Each structure stands twice: as C-alpha cells, then as structure tokens.
Amino acid sequence: MSMSSYTPSELIMARTEAFASGDFGFIYDSYHPESNFRRQFPDRGEYCRYGVEVGQQERRDGPAGADAVAIEPAELRSGVATDRRRRADFRDLG
C-alpha cells in the first residue's frame, strides 16, 4: 500500500503498529522528505538504528512515558488535571 492511499488516521495507526513491531523503516518512509522528522533524522539507517536502541531500552527499563498523565478534554477546559497520583493546576501557566 502506498503512503498516499492511507487516510491520516490510518497512517497514524500504521505507524503505531510499525513502532510496536519494530518496523522503523516503514515509519521513516511514511514521512515527507521535507518534514521536520526527516530534518531531525536525515539518514534512514541512522533512524532505524536509533529506533532499535530505543526499543531495547524500553524493554529493559519500561516505557519512557510510563509516568505520564493523560489529560481529558474536560480537564483541559477547566485548567485542572487529576489522576490517582497527583493533581496538576495549570490555569496560571499562560
């Protein structure tokens, strides 16, 4: 399937599946050559090696975002986000 045949949401899902399966070449190829992603990783092989390193590190140490807090849309509107561990008030951060 060519990249142009994916809808935006299908492409996001395909990248997610590629990340989970370690197909970093697909992820690299799915970005436009002039994208910020390709500016950060101009060499495909280098990005694939980086992806393997990150994957190995996550398997060893756990996901990098394991402590992240998911913020629901209603919380964004109110300016207060809460989860089991902590409460964040970001109304005065503007």
Region 51-60 average pLDDT: 82
Question: Structure pTM?
Answer: 0.61
pLDDT in tens, 1-10: 678 899 999 9
Query: For the residues 26-38, what does the mean pLDDT come to?
Result: 95
Cα separation, 17 vs 10, in Å, equals 10
pLDDT above 80: residue 23: yes
Q: Model confidence over 63-82: pLDDT tens digits?
A: 655 555 555 555 545 555 55
Burial degree of 72 (CB within 10 A; 0-12, 13-18, 19+): exposed
**Position 29 confidence tier, pLDDT thresholds 50, 70, 90:** very high
